[in-house]
A and B are shown apart, each in its own frame.
Chain A
Amino acid sequence: MVYLTRSEHFNAAHKLYNPAWSYEKNEEVFGKCANENWHGHNYELLVTVKGTPSPDTGFVFDVKRLSDIIKEYVIEVVDHRNLNIDVAFMQDKMCSTENLAIQIWKQLVPHLPAGVQLHCIKLYETPRIYVEYFGE
């Protein structure tokens, strides 16, 4: 079993705001991240798949195809967008990095061929903050 990772990146605006709470409670819990006019990040996305290298190609998966899948189903949808407003798969969800990683996993799984398993979504919100999701 070999793990193969492709790194991609996108920029987006978002805010952390729970509409069921008062403005004050949102400020208390989310601090500056609740700013009503949004803020934004340079997100770095690392997608890891696992499998056995093909005897014919030596590849777990053609990494160019992996990149194309990530670009089509994730990057094109989120890049230079407002995650709260513009991104269908984040509607009615809290726009945290945790939830974004889970939704990215869900976007990618249906497009991977048999024999290639998604292993991890690692998503950096800043160079100092990242989450990992293993589909559990």
Chain B
Amino acid sequence: MNKKVAVFRREHFNAAHRLSNPEWDDATNEKVFGKCALPHYHGHNYELEIKVVGKPNRETGYVMDLKELGDLVKREIHSRFDHKNLNLDTKEFKKLNPTAENIVVVIYKLLRPHIDKKLKMQVRLYETPRNFVEYPVR
């Protein structure tokens, strides 16, 4: 019998960004990224869902203490990205285009070292209520 359970923690942060490829000229950036390339930035309410999968611990009944997971997200993610300009204020996106795809991979890599290796983890990031991404893909 498979006793694995998936647990989820939802968090949110707000940030400004713009999408551009510095190797392209303005016209190409505008053609590819449209309004997202506008020079003075725009922003989003990012919604983040962290999924952790494993067998519940015999003593606690927990896969992972979700309060601890919440604190981890606040410490590793909010402190870096909340109410920031992703392009200007973060070292993670100085040279990396802050698309939802790239942000979700960065968030996964920031959190993974702090979560028990025995537990599988997946991150879902909503850029808007209609656009969202997931990493890793299984």
- Name A residues whose Cβ lies closer than 8 Å to a Cβ of B: 9, 11-14, 32-33, 35, 37-42, 79-82, 85-86, 126-127
Q: Are B16 and A40 in contact (CB under 8 A)?
A: yes
Which chain A positions have C-beta within 8 A of B42? 11-13, 40, 79-82
Closest chain B CB from A70 CB (angstroms): 17
Does B15 interact with chain A (Cβ within 8 Å)? yes
Whole-angstrom distance between the alpha carbons of A12 and B88 in the complex?
16
Q: Are B45 and A32 in contact (CB under 8 A)?
A: no
Size of the B side of the interface (Cβ < 8 Å), in residues, is 22
The interface residues of chain A, by DSSP majority, are classed as: strand
Q: Are B40 and A85 in contact (CB under 8 A)?
A: yes
- Name B residues whose Cβ lies closer than 8 Å to a Cβ of A: 12, 14-17, 35-36, 38, 40-45, 82-85, 88-89, 128-129
Q: Are B41 and A127 in contact (CB under 8 A)?
A: no
Partner of B43, one of A9, A41, A127: A41
Chain B residue with minimal CB distance to A82? B40
Q: Are A39 and B84 in contact (CB under 8 A)?
A: yes
Q: Are A13 and B41 in contact (CB under 8 A)?
A: yes
Q: Are B84 and A35 in contact (CB under 8 A)?
A: yes
Whole-angstrom distance between the alpha carbons of A86 and B16 in the complex?
14
Whole-angstrom distance between the alpha carbons of A81 and B34 in the complex?
12
Known contacts A38-B85, A42-B129; A82 and B41 CB within 8 A of each other: yes
Enumerate 9 A-B pairs (CB-CB under 8 Å) in ascending A order. A11-B42, A39-B14, A39-B43, A39-B84, A42-B128, A80-B35, A81-B38, A85-B40, A127-B45
